[in-house]
Amino acid sequence: MPVNLLSILAGAGIAIAYGTYVPIHELLTVAFLGAAVAVMIRAAPEGTTLTDPIDEREAERILTISAYAGALAVGAVALLVAFLWPSLALVVIGITALWVVAWWPRGVRTNTLTSQIAIRRDPATVFAFVSDFENEPKYWAMVEQVEKLTPGPIGAGTQFRTRVRLPASLGITETVMVAVEEIVDFKPDHRFTARVASGMHYNFDVLTFDPIPDGTLVTHKFDFLYSYATAVLATTLIVGPSSNRILRANRVAAWARAKQILESDGQATP
């Protein structure tokens, strides 16, 4: 995708640098602008309701098309500016190209959330409760339902179908997400790693359970990768910090509730 965006910008830049015939410039400007509008029309989502689960592939399609429309729109604007200030138009193209390249590396699009909580129960008890995802509706407020999909005891390869209701925030209406989570690494009473198997992008939840004098220290680390389209549209800068605050707040509340459930269920470890 970055290569395609750079190709669009390069086409506009070449037209600005070497195109001196005004009618050609006008034709190219109209072409770029028309293409941008046509692409945005293609990005229009089909009618959905608040009860419809989020379709991640459809959302990514809309973001990708929007990124192409943005590159075409920048090209059209640069061509318009070039009628009066060709050098300024080339600067606009150059800055946009640098922005496209800046989000190319995976490292700048990776986000990590880490938290810890001490629970006054032994590691085996805490591990058994947390690794059974069917317990999540008891302490994660947004989780409505979890269903175990694979037979047998919980371990590496176990999958769960999770239904999450995301509250309205940041101008986005309340939405529903259904995902399949899979445990990919499982060390009883010590650590397990899970991921959203139905997701399109890199994501890993790593939870470790370390014994401490008065119970268990749970460390929760979540690594996930923003898609390139999400990043290049500046969503990570505009929405990312607020989303992280919301995720952290929900996580703190969830683990506080899990701690309350575990510590009130039977005798706490001495």
| pLDDT value, residue 83 | 74
| pLDDT value, residue 262 | 94
Structure tokens at 26: 């006008």
Regarding whether 142 and 235 lie in a shared domain, the answer is yes
Regarding whether 144 and 213 lie in a shared domain, the answer is yes
| pLDDT value, residue 216 | 96
Regarding whether 152 and 206 lie in a shared domain, the answer is yes
Domain of 37, in residue numbers: 2-102
For residue 269, being part of any structural domain is answered with no
For residue 16, being part of any structural domain is answered with yes
On the CB side of 58, CA atoms within 13 Å amount to 10
Q: Where are the alpha helices (DSSP H) in 132-239?
A: 136-139, 228-232, 235-238
Mind listing the pLDDT tens digit of every residue in the chain (270 residues)? 788 888 877 877 777 776 655 555 555 666 666 666 666 666 555 544 444 445 667 777 778 888 888 888 888 788 778 777 888 888 888 898 998 999 889 888 888 889 999 999 999 999 999 999 999 999 998 899 999 999 999 999 999 999 988 765 544 566 778 889 999 999 999 999 999 887 667 788 999 999 999 899 999 998 888 888 888 887 766 666 666 777 788 889 999 999 999 998 654 443
Q: Find where tokens 């409505």 sit.
A: 144
For residue 270, being part of any structural domain is answered with no
Last residue of a domain, one of 82, 102, 122: 102
Structure tokens at 36: 């941008």
Regarding whether 97 and 138 lie in a shared domain, the answer is no
Structure tokens at 47: 């009618």
Regarding whether 188 and 245 lie in a shared domain, the answer is yes
Regarding whether 98 and 132 lie in a shared domain, the answer is no
| pLDDT value, residue 8 | 76
For residue 70, being part of any structural domain is answered with yes
| pLDDT value, residue 50 | 43
**Residue among 70, 64, 61, 71 nearest 13 (CA):** 71
Q: Where are the alpha helices (DSSP H) in 49-175?
A: 56-82, 86-102, 123-131, 136-139
Regarding whether 234 and 183 lie in a shared domain, the answer is yes
- CATH number (domain holding residue 196): 3.30.530.20
| pLDDT value, residue 170 | 46
* Distance, CA of 56 to chain centre: 10
| pLDDT value, residue 267 | 41
Contacts of 266 (CB under 8 A, 6+ apart): none
Q: Give CA torsion, residues 65, 69, 72, 74, to 10 deg.
A: -130
Total-model pTM: 0.74
For residue 155, being part of any structural domain is answered with yes
| pLDDT value, residue 207 | 96
Regarding whether 134 and 232 lie in a shared domain, the answer is yes
For residue 75, being part of any structural domain is answered with yes
Regarding whether 42 and 116 lie in a shared domain, the answer is no
Regarding whether 209 and 145 lie in a shared domain, the answer is yes
Regarding whether 25 and 116 lie in a shared domain, the answer is no
Q: Of all helices (H) and strands (E), which one includes residue 196?
A: strand 191-196
* Exposed/middle/buried for residue 132 (C-beta within 10 Å: 0-12, 13-18, 19+): middle
For residue 120, being part of any structural domain is answered with yes
**Residue among 40, 25, 24 nearest 73 (CA):** 40
Regarding whether 174 and 70 lie in a shared domain, the answer is no
Last residue of a domain, one of 102, 123, 147: 102
Query: How far, in Å, CA of 176 to CA of 161, rounded?
Result: 13
Query: How far, in Å, CA of 178 to CA of 174, rounded?
Result: 14
For residue 25, being part of any structural domain is answered with yes
How many domains are there within the chain? 2
Query: How far, in Å, CA of 238 to CA of 146, rounded?
Result: 32
Last residue of a domain, one of 73, 102, 131: 102
